[in-house]
Structures are given as structure tokens and as C-alpha cells.
Amino acid sequence: MSQFTSRRRMLFGTAAVGAGALLAGCTSNEPSDDDEPASNDQQAADDKPGKQVTIGYAGPQADHGWLNAVNVNAKNRAEKYEDVTLEVTEGSNDTAQQIGQIETLINKKVDVLVILPADGKALTQVGLQAMRAGIPVVNLDRIFNSPQAYRCWVGGDNYGMGLNAGHYIGEKLKDKENARVVELAGLDNLELTKQRTQGFDDALKNYPNIEKVARQAADFTVESGQAKMAQLLQAQSQFDALWNHDDDQGVGALRAIEQAGRDDFLMVGGAGALSAFQAIKQDDGVLKATVLYPPTMAASAIDLARALGQGKGISGLAEFEIPSSLTLYSAVVDKENVDQYMSTGFK
């Protein structure tokens, strides 16, 4: 994300390269008649209309700010292309219902599928079904159990998210003796939560003066964020930093902090909500930074699906095909760079 160019020319959304750089020079994949080999710039998809592609999109139920932003990014990206038709299912967090919706898209013979599964393990079989039917799958974020169930995976770096949060806090507290930090995690039954905590703990190992003294798991809602943060504040009369895994539950956490009248520590959030960016820019509270988990990955997934449907590659890469996986970078946004990311914040 630090290499953010322009919103129109990015590959990984608000990630290391940004959502949509995908594309420059639209010609056939046939080699040229000259002696020189064809350049990938001649083989990559671009914004110019090309072969018509129907993309089936099976996303989540928009019951969370980040999940809603994922769906919005996918739809908005598809609308930018004259040659893309997007077949959208009704978002669902019910595994059986989502499988049925995807099977309907398979039966419609869409050209490409973009799937953010409610449960990657449980939906692996329907991903395999699509691939066996000759429909390439772009697996978004929650990964299927088998690489045979998708042509390309694109998603966030949960371990890296925790790692970067830990290093940011570590650098802020490296000169403080006996520094204490606390963690407000997400849902502990999710692998992504465990990965974020592991990354955070591994980063803190580089700072022997810092001890993590408490951890509470919330469930990614404003209400749980407020309740669990209140418990942390009551149990810990003094600490120096808080890492909160999710900016949605962070709204509740900030309410609890304000109600407790506490301002004796710094807070780092997670995901990249607009409200977090605004608070960071205002810089009159405990929230000093947030670590991105960009929902623009859905826009990148549409770009990749379009390229697959048109038999194209990605400009900037030497290969004629899109990669099998793309992991987004979890950049830290603080008051020094928040203006750069403000337009990507989700509500």
C-alpha cells in the first residue's frame, strides 16, 4: 500500500500496489510474426472494451461494514467495464444457501466466478465443481481447502496485519521501561483471528521491554467491542497501548474508552474504516493508527476475473497468465499518511 499510485491504476486495492493496475494494452495472445517475442504489455487486459465476460459473484451477507464494502467494491468495479456483466447472488453467510446460489451460477454457465465463501472449507466442493465445469474461480479472502478449487486466490494478510500492528506499537514504546500492551481480538473460532494474534505476538518478541498483559476476544460488532473493552479497562488500570483487530468493533471500544475517561495509552485499529481515518486525522483521542485489510480486494478480484475471461495477463508482470495467488499488504495508516488513504475508507 505504500506504493499507492492512483485509484485507477492499482492492482491490489489499497494494498501494496492498489486495486486495478491490472491492465495495459489489449491484443491477442497469439505471438507476433516478428522474430522478437511478444511483450506481456501486448497481452494484458486493459480498460478498453474487449471480449464480453459474464462474471458470477457470490459474496457475503453485508452484516458488517467491511463485508458491505467488499460487495460495493465488486459491483462498482464491474460497472466500470462495458464488456463485463455481473451476475450477483443475494449475499449469504449460510453455507448451504451459498452453495445453492453458486450452483445456480454454474448452471447459467457464467464465464468466471468470484466467490467469497461463508466458510472456505465447507464450500471447497462447489469450487471444485465450478472448476471441473470449465469455469475458472477467483477465490476471495477466505480460502478453499484445495488449490484445485480455484484458479486464483486474492486476499488479505492476517498474520502481516498483526505483525505490522505489533511493530508500530513496538517502535512507539521501544524506549519505555516495562511497557504494557493489551489486545482486543475478533472471533477466536476464526483462523484469521488466530493469525492476527500470532503476528502481533511475534512482532512483540523484538521488544523485550514490552509485555502483553491482557487479551479479550470480541465478535466484530460495535456492541461487543464496547462490552469487551469495558472489561479490559476495568481489569487493567494501566497500560500503554491497545491493538484492536477491527475498526467496526473499534467504534464500540472507543465509546467504552471515552466513558471510562481514559486517555493514557495509544490505540491501533484494524481494517481501514472511514471513521478510523477521520479520528486519526483529527488526532485528539487515543486512536493513532489503523492497519489495513483492504476491502478493495473485491475490485481486484473483478479485474482478475475479467482478465481470466478474456484470456489476458496483467501488465507489469512478465508472465502471460495471472498469478495463482495475490496477498495484499497490510499497511499502517497514521496521521502522516492518512490523507493518502482517506478516499478508500469504508463506512
pTM assigned to the model: 0.83
Same domain, 49 and 127: yes
Cβ neighbours, 10 Å, residue 28 = 11
Helix (H) or strand (E) holding 251: helix 247-260
Residues 73 and 132 in one domain: yes
* Residue 205 and residue 57 in one domain: no
Q: Which of 292, 318, 336 is the last residue of a domain?
A: 292
Domain annotation covers residue 172 = yes
Query: What does DSSP say about strands 210-217 and 53-58: parallel, antiparallel, or unpaired?
Result: unpaired
Domain tally, the chain: 2
The model's confidence at residue 245, banded by pLDDT at 50, 70 and 90, is: very high
Clarify whether residues 91 and 138 are in a common domain: yes
CATH number at residue 307: 3.40.50.2300
What percent of the chain stands above pLDDT 70?
Answer: 87
DSSP letter for 299, please.
H
Residue 315 confidence (pLDDT) above 90: no
> Is residue 80 assigned to a domain?
yes
31, pLDDT greater than 70: no
Residue 286, pLDDT above cutoff 80: yes
DSSP structural state of residue 12? S
Together in a domain, 249 and 275: yes
Its domain, for residue 63, covers: 40-156+295-328
Do 310 and 163 lie in one domain? The reply is no
How many angstroms separate the CA atoms of 6 and 150, rounded?
Answer: 29
Q: Are residues 288 and 171 in the same domain?
A: yes
Residue 48 confidence class, pLDDT cut points 50, 70, 90: confident
Q: Which of 32-46, 92-106, 214-228 is least confident?
A: 32-46
d(CA 114, CA 74): 9
Residue 136 counted as domain residue: yes
